[in-house]
Amino acid sequence: MYISGAEIVIACLKEQGVDTVFGYPGGAILNLYDALYKHSDEIRHILTSHEQGAAHAADGYARATGRPGVCFATSGPGATNLVTGIATAYMDSIPVVAITCNVGVSLLGKDSFQEIDIAGITMPITKHNYIVKDVTKLAETIRKAFCIAQTGRPGPVLVDIPKDITAEKTDYKPAKIESIVPIPEDISEKEIEKAVSMINKSRRPYIFVGGGAVLSGADKELMEFVNKSDAPVTDTLMGKGAFPGTDKRYTGMLGMHGTKTSNYGVSGCDLLIVVGARFSDRVTGNTKKFAKNAKILQFDVDEAEMNKNVIITEGVTGDIKEVLKKVNEKLKQQSHPEWMNKIQEYKRKYPLQYHESVLSGPFIVEEIYRQTKGDALIVTEVGQHQMWAAQYYQYTKPRTLITSGGLGTMGYGLGAALGAKTGCPEKLVVNIAGDGCFRMNMNEIATAVRYQIPVIQVVVNNHVLGMVRQWQDLFYEKRYSSTVIEDAVDFVKLAEAMGAEGIRVTTREEFEKAFTRALELNRPIVIDCQIDSDEKVWPMVAPGAAISDVFDESDMKQE
């Protein structure tokens, strides 16, 4: 076929099985949108309210489905508006392919109208990126982009195409795209033997699960491994759902806002088995005091993560699913009754607690869990509400918590919720936001209404930047510098102005009724939940402290 560069891009997307693209058109990308118009019955385009919303939607689509998310943007400010979304995907290892179009090849490097070196800008926050200056190399480049985004440790790839390349024509030959699968033979048998030996010798093992277990689809293998190891399980924010939060071995999240059980347990174990986690500072606290009594065994697809933040004893490099398969084959049944009893005692002694007489963040999350029966895709923004969503919703399946972990992107959730619902239309999708986060990308409510994407937007509205204020309260002598949001913004009227339903609630009973109504409506809705400004996330570890120094409200009252 002799077709244009723009038509080649669309043909390559169809090869990859892409069914949805999120984006925003502009002058430099017009040829691509013109080609997309001719294939609108095969590839759905969602016009977001802002390019950042498109990047987050592509990210949410990828997290929910496991398939690469795709977003389009034009040159200059259109491309730069994708940057935060690309960085968010990069930090959490999410496969996103961002396609931008630039000024013509002859205009590059001349400060032309809406010209920007988007490849240079995104180099540190992509797995790889390209600028295609030869139309004959375009199809090959698009195919490479999708392969790189999904191979090994996933991540975003950007392809920048000058406008004249989208207009030029060349011969195009369709290609059959093979499924990308991990190669078990790449895993060292010697490393597996060492890992099994360490587990056999351990008397107090603890399994620490991260996002890698979710990305590799290793939940079944992980369950077998946990049962064989007879060990308690903790996780990161990104690892939620890889191991069921309802299982008796599960002890809650680890780290700054982890449970006392997990923090004390990891601090007292003799072997920490790390399954697809990268030792974020929010998990480890003071690295010199982290799991200081334990040997550390790490499983990760990315060898660069070994000994990066925490010095480990041994590591196995490979896809988590394949590593666990090999370990499970060789590992004999373990039994640690004394250790497991001690952990269960911790769980009984240190449960999560909150004030049950008023409308609060934890209550809102627990009520969402009760009414959805734990069978929803929960999306969050970043802050206190994010931690409550991690603590109080029990995730039993992978890819059911969609949140910005590494970058901590405020404004992420609503766009991601639209992407998740588009990719999984049969799933109930709830985005939980703080009022500060909601303001950042609340314009995407208009997108939800335009396409009738029935997401439930819950705003935990404390009229402050909650997590920052919490730090100011605890560590800055209550100097609330620029964290109090005192204005007349009405989220209910805002929702109605954009064509959505809006409900304000101030009590637990009102929220119960409002969320029930949201489930019945099956259309975009915003529930504005008024809670106290001084509500805090407990437990907590102070910055720079050991995770064993975890404290909560009851500890502060005893001081």
Per-position DSSP letters for 218-269, written without gaps between them: -HHHHHHHHHHHT--EEE-STTTTSS-TTSTTEEEE-STT--HHHHHHHHH-
Kindly state whether residue 547 falls inside one of the protein's structural domains.
no
pTM over 0.95: yes
Residues 109 and 194 in one domain: no
Q: 152 and 217 share a domain?
A: no
Nearest in space to 18 (alpha carbons), one of 42, 46, 52: 42
Q: Are residues 369 and 460 in the same domain?
A: yes
- The two beta strands, 96-102 and 157-162, are parallel
| Domain assignment of residue 7, yes or no | yes
11 lies in the same domain as 115: yes
Residues 195 and 263 in one domain: yes
Give a yes or no: residue 354 inside a domain.
no
- The boundaries of the domain holding residue 523 are 361-542
Kindly state whether residues 270 and 146 are assigned to the same domain.
no
Q: What is the pLDDT of residues 498-521, one digit of tens each?
A: 999 999 999 999 999 999 999 999
- Report the distance separating Cα 89 and Cα 92, nearest Å: 5
Question: Residue 182 in contact with residue 22, Cβ under 8 Å?
Answer: no
**Residue 343 covered by a domain:** yes
Q: Is residue 554 part of a domain?
A: no
Of 118, 148, 171, which residue is a domain's last? 171
What pLDDT does residue 178 have? 87
**559, part of any domain:** no
- Specify the pLDDT at position 104: 96
Domain containing residue 242: CATH number: 3.40.50.1220
- The catalytic residues are 51, 113-114, 163, 467
Q: Which of 37, 36, 25, 31 is nearest to 81 (CA)?
A: 25
Q: Which CATH number characterizes residue 474's domain?
A: 3.40.50.970
Q: Are residues 193 and 231 in the same domain?
A: yes
Q: What is the pLDDT of residue 558?
A: 76
Question: Do 314 and 202 fall within a single domain?
Answer: yes
> Residue ranges of the chain with pLDDT lower than 50?
none
232/344 Cα distance (integer angstroms) = 9
**342 found inside a domain:** yes
CA–CA distance, 63 with 398 (Å, rounded to integer): 10
Would you say the C-alpha torsion 218, 147, 427, 395 has a positive or negative sign?
Answer: positive
**Do residues 161 and 219 both lie within one domain?**
no
pLDDT of residue 80: 98
Cα distances from 429 to residues 67, 242, 336, 422, 522, in angstroms, run 18, 19, 39, 10, 11
Length of the chain: 559
> Are 216 and 320 within 8 A, CB to CB?
yes
Tell which of 297, 314, 349 closes a domain: 349
Instruction: Tell me the DSSP string of 115-156.
Output: ---HHHHHGGGSSEEEE---GGGHHHHHHHHHHHHHSSS---
Note if the bond before 205 is cis, omega within 30 degrees.
Answer: no
Q: Round to whole Å and give the CA distance between 285 and 543.
A: 7
Q: Do 401 and 307 lie in a common domain?
A: no
Residue 107 maps to a domain:
yes
* Tally of structural domains, the chain: 3
Domain boundary among 140, 171, 202: 171
Look at residue 183 in the predicted model and tell me its pLDDT. 81
Residues 159, 192, single domain; the answer is no
Strand 157-162 and strand 169-171: the pairing is unpaired
Whether 365 and 452 map to the same domain: the answer is: yes
